[in-house]
Amino acid sequence: MKAAALIRPASIASRPLEIRDLPIPTPAPGQVLLRVLACGVCRTDLHIVEGELKPLRDRVIPGHQIVGEEVGSNGSRFGVTWMAGVDGTCQFCRRGEENLCDSPVFTGYTVDGGYAEFAVVRSDFAIPLPAGLGDLETAPLLCAGVIGFRSLRVACVQRGERVGLFGFGASAHLALPVLRAWGCHVSVSTRGASHRKLAESLGADWVGTERERPPIPVDRAITFAPSGDVVVAALSSLRKGGVVAINAIHLDRIPEFDYDSLLWGERQIRSVTNVTRADARDFLELASEIGLRPKVTVFRLEQANEALLALKNDAIDGAAVLVP
Ligand SMILES: [Zn+2]
Ligand SMILES: [Zn+2]
């Protein structure tokens, strides 16, 4: 099979992914072989390819937003997320918090992912796809979409509430239609005129720059930028008893802020870490129901380096998706 393999991480400009002909992997018991129909391209892939996330194997096939068809089935389609597996035995798994598992396995990092014609995945981590979702449109939902959805859960968003989104990238723009479907009042604070325009076109009720605050305090806020200043901005927009959920793997720092005015009053700050299978299933069902259709730019598998380079240069309209 054709695959884009990473042997030595390097700057994407040097085209570190090698397009190779590799044997089709054989599924072990409890695994399923998928013919890849589409695979989303994510910023985490860029971090893996450039070595910001340290290599765990001599060779890895990246890609953790796989839409695939089970080989030998009658067209059963599955989605695969960043979560390739958990141990099922640690205290977090036993509490039903598999996103916090002590020994998680990650698609396209710990194990081979979807930048290939075929991929082997754990059957119990292959999420059946609703019929209403197309292959290309589903791929970006499997990372940015699901984690955005989890953020709404972590922020305890209830129907009809006021929700502030701080930053408006891949994840936030998929969360907004969900909030609209829930009848929420959505305000978006973001740098970048094009992001503000997109937020407006998707039906945000209020849009401002990262320095502006929603006119009325929000019940819930989600921050999408790797910046502690943004967390403080979100806190300063929050009503008493509200929650700020931080959807970022790293933050530059948490700046000093005033406890009395910003956190007292039972305001909460929570981080968002990975996703559960239930998040993925529930989100995909909802996405199908509300007709969520992310904008995609298609690249051929052979163009995996170009897709990542374009992502790095912010030169992609919508989400990049590889098609073998
Ligand atoms: Zn991702
Ligand atoms: Zn576990």
Going from the Cα of 66 to the center of ligand 2, the distance in angstroms, rounded, reads 23
- Counting every residue written for the chain, the total comes to 324
Going from the Cα of 264 to the center of ligand 1, the distance in angstroms, rounded, reads 34
Q: Give the strand pairing for 238-246 and 218-223.
A: parallel
Beta-bridge mates of residue 118: 35
Spatial contact of 117 and 35, defined as CB atoms under 8 Å apart? yes
Q: Which two tokens stand for residue 84?
A: 């390739």
H helices present in 7-123, as ranges: 43-49, 91-94
Strands (E), 177-231: 185-189, 206-208, 218-223
Give the three-class secondary structure for 295. coil
Give the ligand at the shortest distance from the Cα of 83.
1
Per-residue pLDDT tens digits of the chain, which is 324 residues long? 999 999 999 999 999 999 999 999 999 999 999 999 999 999 999 999 999 999 999 999 999 999 999 999 999 999 999 999 999 999 999 999 999 999 999 999 999 999 999 999 999 999 999 999 999 999 999 999 999 999 999 999 999 999 999 999 889 999 999 999 999 999 999 988 988 999 999 999 999 998 888 999 999 999 999 999 999 999 999 999 999 999 998 899 999 999 999 999 999 999 999 999 999 999 999 999 999 999 899 999 999 999 999 999 988 878 999 999
Residue whose tokens read 């897709």: 307
Using CA atoms, how far residue 80 sits from 84, 165, 206, 231, 284, in Å, is: 7, 26, 34, 30, 12
Going from the Cα of 90 to the center of ligand 2, the distance in angstroms, rounded, reads 4
Going from the Cα of 29 to the center of ligand 1, the distance in angstroms, rounded, reads 27
Q: Which two tokens stand for residue 86?
A: 């958990």
Give the ligand at the shortest distance from the Cα of 41.
1
Give the ligand at the shortest distance from the Cα of 48.
1
Going from the Cα of 189 to the center of ligand 1, the distance in angstroms, rounded, reads 23
Going from the Cα of 144 to the center of ligand 2, the distance in angstroms, rounded, reads 23
Going from the Cα of 193 to the center of ligand 1, the distance in angstroms, rounded, reads 24
- One-letter amino acid of 140: P
Going from the Cα of 124 to the center of ligand 2, the distance in angstroms, rounded, reads 14
Q: Compute the Cα dihedral for 147, 149, 152, 156 and give only its sign.
A: negative
Give the three-class secondary structure for 243. strand
- Rounded distance, CA 309 to CA 45, Å? 11
Q: pTM for the complete prediction?
A: 0.95
Give the ligand at the shortest distance from the Cα of 143.
1
Beta-bridge mates of residue 189: 166, 208
